[in-house]
Amino acid sequence: MEPSNTEITRRHFMSVAIAAISSFIGAAVGLPGIAYIIGPALKKETEDWVSLGAISKVEPGSPTLFKTTIERQTGWITDQEEVSAYVLTEDGQNYVAMSNICTHLGCRVRWIAEQERFFCPCHNGVFGKDGSVISGPPPRPLDRFETKVDNGVLFIRRG
C-alpha cells in the first residue's frame, strides 16, 4: 500500500513538532544546568589589602616569611585561610613581597638561608633570592604582590 501524501505530511509534522518541543525542554533545563555547574567558577574573588605585620621584622638582604590568616567565604563556609609571602628588602626602603607558591605546579617553596635559594620540594624547582628561576621546571619567577607600608605595617594586595 502506497502511503498517501497527507499521511507523510502528518508524520513529518509530528516528528518536527516532537523534535522542537524536546529541544525546547532540553534547552530550558540544560542551559540553566550548565550555568549552575560553572557559576561558582566564574565568581571573581575580591581583591583586598592584607596586613602581614611589622615591617621591622624584615632583615635586609634576606627573604623573610610572613604568615597571616584571613577570613574567606567559600561556598557556604566562612573559612580561615593562611596567606604567606616572602618579603625582601635590600635597602630598607623598597620592599618586594613574593608568593611562596611555586610557579610550576603550586607546591610551597622554602627559603634555605645557607644556600641563598628557594627550593621547591615537589619537582626540584630552584629560585634565587629575587624569585628568579635558577633551575628546574618552573616556567616563570615567583609571583609578586603589590605592597604598601602604612605606619610601619606591611600590606600586600591579594586577589
Partner 1 sequence: MTTRLGDWLDERFDWRKVWAAIFLRKIPHVNWLYTLGSATLFVAGLQIVTGILLTLYYVPTPDHAYDSVVYITTQVTAGWFIRGLHHWGASAMVILTVLHLLRTFFYGAYKFPREVTWLSGVFLLLVVVGFGFTGYLLPWDQKAYWATTVGTRIAGVAPGIGDAILRIARGGEELSAVTLARFFGAHVWVLPAALLTLLVIHLYLIIRIGITAVPGRDE
Among 16, 27, 32, 57, binds partner 1 (CB under 8 A): 32
> Is residue 153 within the footprint of partner 1 (CB under 8 A)?
no
Cell of 18: 516532537
Alpha helices in the chain (DSSP H): 5-42
Minimum distance of partner 1 from residue 129's CB (angstroms): 43
Query: If binding is defined by CB under 8 A, does position 46 make contact with partner 1?
Result: no
74 membership: H or E segment, kind and range: strand 64-74
Q: 33 or 159: whose CB is closer to partner 1?
A: 33
d(CA 14, CA 68): 66
Judged by CB, which is closer to partner 1: 32, or 92?
32
Minimum CB distance to partner 1, residue 75 (Å): 6
* β partners of residue 87: 64, 97
Cell of 30: 540544560
Measured on CA atoms in the order 126, 132, 136, 142, is the torsion positive or negative?
positive
Q: Kindly state whether residue 36 participates in binding partner 1, applying the rule CB under 8 A.
A: yes
Instruction: Indicate the residue among 5 and 36 with the shorter CB distance to partner 1.
Output: 36
Cβ–Cβ under 8 Å, residues 67 and 86: no
C-alpha cell at 5: 501524501
Return the residue of 10, 20, 27, 39 that touches partner 1, per CB under 8 A: 39
The residue among 21 and 149 lying less far from partner 1, judged by its C-beta, is 21
Q: Hey, which residues between 54 and 113 contact partner 1 (CB under 8 A)? A: 75-77
CB half-sphere exposure, 82, CA atoms < 13 A: 8
Residues that bind partner 1 (CB under 8 A): 29, 32-33, 35-40, 42, 75-77
